[in-house]
Amino acid sequence: MYPGSFDPITNGHMDVALRAAKLFDELIVSIYSGSTKANALFDPAERIELARQAIAECGDPNASRIRIETFSGLAVEHARDIGAGWIVRGLRAVSDFEYEFKYAHMNHHLAPDVEVVCLMTSSRHSFISSSFIREVASLGGDVDGLVPPNIAEAVHRRVSTLRHVLPAHGMA
């Protein structure tokens, strides 16, 4: 299982998911729907549909091993509920290691039968994060090439809609 908020799913997420799909018979990308972030770009149902489309259109043969679903609560409990013995986490940079180290140990405390495996994202995606995508797009920046094409289109459309609704903002 590969859990996360995926708001939106990025090329870094796709990289980790497709590589993890090579390691397991099936990979379940589990989109967290337990909270509504104030700065969320897409609601959970939209994130699920966008992720399904991105996986379906990626052209990678391992995509057929990936299933998308949603969860709330503890990721480790969801892993147990769906019979997943492994939780996949992505590492972009050294700065992610400390958080993921703590995450793995807490999950081991909660469910010693579920292992956490970390995959380093490809270096070309190491600077990409969903929060970066949201921020850059909200300030009018181009996110093409950083997210799957369907995600880029959805982000541009959503940000364009929000610009007409919200007052102007940005870094000066």
- What are the DSSP calls for 38-71, one per residue? TT-SS-HHHHHHHHHHHHHHS--GGGGGEEEEEE
What's the whole-number mean pLDDT along residues 108-121?
95
Answer yes or no: is pLDDT of 164 > 80. no
**Domain boundary assignment for the chain:** 2-126
Q: What is the average pLDDT score of the chain?
A: 91
Catalytic residue among 5, 13, 52, 89: 13
For domain 2-126, the CATH architecture is: 3-Layer(aba) Sandwich (3.40)
Is 37 known to be catalytic?
A: yes
Catalytic residue among 47, 65, 92, 134: 92
3-state helix, strand, coil in the chain (%, to 5): 50, 15, 35
Catalytic residue among 47, 65, 78, 130: 130
Answer yes or no: is pLDDT of 171 > 50. no
CA–CA gap between residue 20 and residue 137 (Å, rounded):
28
Using a pLDDT cut of 90, give the percent of the chain over it. Answer: 83
Answer yes or no: is pLDDT of 71 > 80. yes
* Residue 74 confidence (pLDDT): 95
Q: Is the peptide bond before 8 cis (omega within 30 degrees of 0)?
A: yes
> 3-state class of 17 per DSSP?
helix
- The structure's pTM equals 0.89
DSSP state of 120: E
**H or E stretch covering 27:** strand 27-32
Catalytic residue among 37, 102, 105, 124: 37
Answer yes or no: is pLDDT of 132 > 60. yes
Half-sphere exposure of 124 (CA within 13 A, CB side): 6
Is 13 known to be catalytic?
A: yes
Using a pLDDT cut of 70, give the percent of the chain over it. Answer: 92
CA–CA gap between residue 123 and residue 74 (Å, rounded):
29
The model's confidence at residue 163, banded by pLDDT at 50, 70 and 90, is low
Answer yes or no: is pLDDT of 118 > 90. yes
What's the whole-number mean pLDDT along residues 36-59?
91
Angle at 54 between CA 57 and CA 157, to 5 degrees: 115
CA–CA gap between residue 55 and residue 63 (Å, rounded):
6
Half-sphere exposure of 63 (CA within 13 A, CB side): 14
